[in-house]
Amino acid sequence: MSATPPPAGGFVRRIGLFQATAINMSQMCGIGPFVTIPLMVAAFGGPQAVLGFVAGAVLALADGLIWAELGASLPGSGGSYVYLKQAFQYRTGRLMPFLFVWTAMLFIPLAMSTGVVGFVQYLGYLAPGLGETAGDLIGLGIVALVVLLLWRGIENIARITTVMWVVMIASVSLVIVAAASDFSPHLAFSYPAGAFSVTSSQFWIGFAAGLTIGIYDYLGYNTTAYMGAEIKDPGRTLPRSIIYSIFGIMAIYLLLQIGTLGVIDYHRMLDPNDIASSSVASAVLEKAWGKGAADVVTVLILVTAFASVFAGLLGGSRVPYDAARDKVFFRPYAKLHPRHRFPMLGLATMGVITAIGFMIGRRTDLTTLIQLLTTVMVIVQALAQILAVTVLRKRRPDLRRPYRMWLYPLPSLVALVGWLTIYGYSDKNSPGRHPIEWSLAWLALGCVAFVLWARFEKVWPFGPREIEEEYFDEPPVQKLPV
């Protein structure tokens, strides 16, 4: 393995390559593509919406290579928390990892809440008379059930996730096969006038919106990176699980997107009163194979949505644990379950925030929720990790790197352009919602919280910088003057 073993009483490395890839893919291909195909069509204005999934795949792969190098070199629990701490501790102490945990406690549960919103949305196909209150109660019940199932040992969770992965593959495969059986090239490849007018500002606004939705659909390729301390042979398993899951989901998404557009007229997806705008996969099955088949596959889609929320909270709940153990977050979050060795408070807190995010999404719309969570994520995680790879390569060339990014630094530059495009166009794609302003306000509030916390803990800038190099050969802790 590429790092020291986990401390006594900590996590146990029990997750292999197949289970790790299944965890990533279950999180990636949840309800996302089944609810965002109409959103993607609305962003582009026609079947050229497939560009959004292609662009999302390119960004996911470029960013995934960053995660792969960092995860293989620094395989601790917490993912970005570990990477940002090791890269930026020399100049800014614990500021960056603190800000990451501050934002992650918001954007990870928000991402999971979109899955619950989609679950209730598809449930409406099976129960057309489902009222708003009933939908709210069902969604909250789903969150509670996920937390309950995660309240157990990781070896049991890995088995549950493998079963859910099989159901996910079955559901998307049936939709793809059904679409192929009733496929019309005319529907799939008939583009409206000006569909590819790259000189038009409207095209690029739509492209940015599509890229945002596309990368949202791919989010989850990094789930096992948050669980680095529980992965067998992480130097090999982590990079492979990330890359395999991205290529696997990319193939699935393209087949699903093109197949759906070849069965359902895209104008139906733009009509809020048409079932194709809210449950497009069910509409595909109904048109191709009839209502009975659509009902069966809709049930499988509901299981897939559940699996994505399950896998997301599984990985996300590990984030505050590592920070709290290092005294960079509230100390109660460092406590593991005495028997099953999972972070109890992190799981419970993210479960509550997921429930709140679900209720917000039900009162606004799914597009707004996606835009808000991606904008919050960009500054402290996406952009900071791009810089972290370069910082660690220059400052710590002796760091063990079982995997090195292909074609460095090209993937970093591609990821940088992609994330800046999403961030720069976010206000235009969410008029009146001000996601840029909200993200900056949340970051500023996090900086204030850090200053107060640092003063209380007497760490930088109010005390010495503690340099912790647990993944290197040097002594684990050095104290530098302020």
Residue 66's Cα: distance from chain center in Å?
Answer: 15
Listed in sequence order, the residues at least 6 apart from 424 whose beta carbon sits closer than 8 Å to its beta carbon are 208
User: Is 450 inside a domain boundary?
Assistant: yes
Q: Is 208 contained in some domain?
A: yes
According to the model, what pLDDT value does residue 10 have? Answer: 60
Return the bridge partners of 227, or none: 77
How many other β-carbons are positioned within 10 Å of the β-carbon of residue 439? Answer: 24
Mean pLDDT value across the chain: 86
Check pLDDT > 90 for residue 268.
yes
Given a cut of 50, is residue 108 above it in pLDDT?
yes
Q: What is the pTM of this model?
A: 0.85
Whether pLDDT at 353 is above 80: yes
Q: Cβ neighbours of residue 471 under 8 Å, at least 6 residues apart?
A: 2, 3, 4, 73, 74, 76, 86, 399, 400
Q: Which residues pair with 77 in a beta bridge?
A: 227
CATH number at residue 311: 1.20.1740.10
Residue ranges making up the domain that contains 217: 17-480
Of 11-20, 199-208, 285-294, 419-428, minimum mean pLDDT range: 11-20
The yes-or-no verdict on residue 373 having pLDDT over 60 is yes
What's the average model confidence in pLDDT over 469-475? 61
- Say if residue 154's pLDDT is above 70: no
Give the position of tokens 């997806």: 269
On whether residue 188 sits in a domain, the answer given is yes
- Higher-confidence residue of 482 and 104: namely 104
pLDDT, average across residues 191-214? 88
pLDDT in tens, 448-461: 989 988 888 888 88
Percent of the chain at pLDDT > 90 equals 41
Average pLDDT rounded to a whole number, residues 161-180 = 85
Output the pLDDT for position 476: 44
Give the dihedral of Cα atoms 70, 71, 73, 74; nearest 10 deg: 100
- Quick check: is 9 in a domain? no
For residue 4, being part of any structural domain is answered with no
For residue 40, give the nearest of 227, 232, 193, 217 by alpha carbon: 217
CA distance 247 to 252: 9
- Overall residue count recorded for the chain in this entry: 482
Residue 157 above 80 pLDDT? no
Within-domain flag for 10: no
First to last CA, the chain: 35
Q: What are phi and psi of 238, to 5 degrees?
A: -60, -55
Domain count, the chain: 1
Quick check: is 261 in a domain?
A: yes
In the beta sheet, which residues pair with residue 186? none
Tell me if 329 is assigned to some domain: yes
- Is 7's pLDDT higher than 70? no
What band does 158 get if pLDDT is binned at 50, 70 and 90? low
When pLDDT is cut at 50, 70 and 90, the band that residue 1 belongs to is very low
**pLDDT reported for residue 402:** 92
Backbone angles phi, psi at 77, to 5 degrees: -75, 140
Omega cis (within 30) before 185: no
> Is residue 321 within 8 Å of 334, Cβ to Cβ?
yes
Comparing 129-143, 147-161, 281-295, the range with the smallest average pLDDT is: 147-161
Q: Which residues pair with 343 in a beta bridge?
A: 336
124 versus 159: which is more confidently predicted? 124
Average pLDDT over residues 213-236: 88
The tens digit of pLDDT for each residue in 397-416 reads 988 899 999 999 999 999 99
Structure tokens, 177: 């096969």
- Pick the closest to residue 167 from 24, 30, 18 (CA basis): 30
Mean per-residue pLDDT for 131-150?
Answer: 91
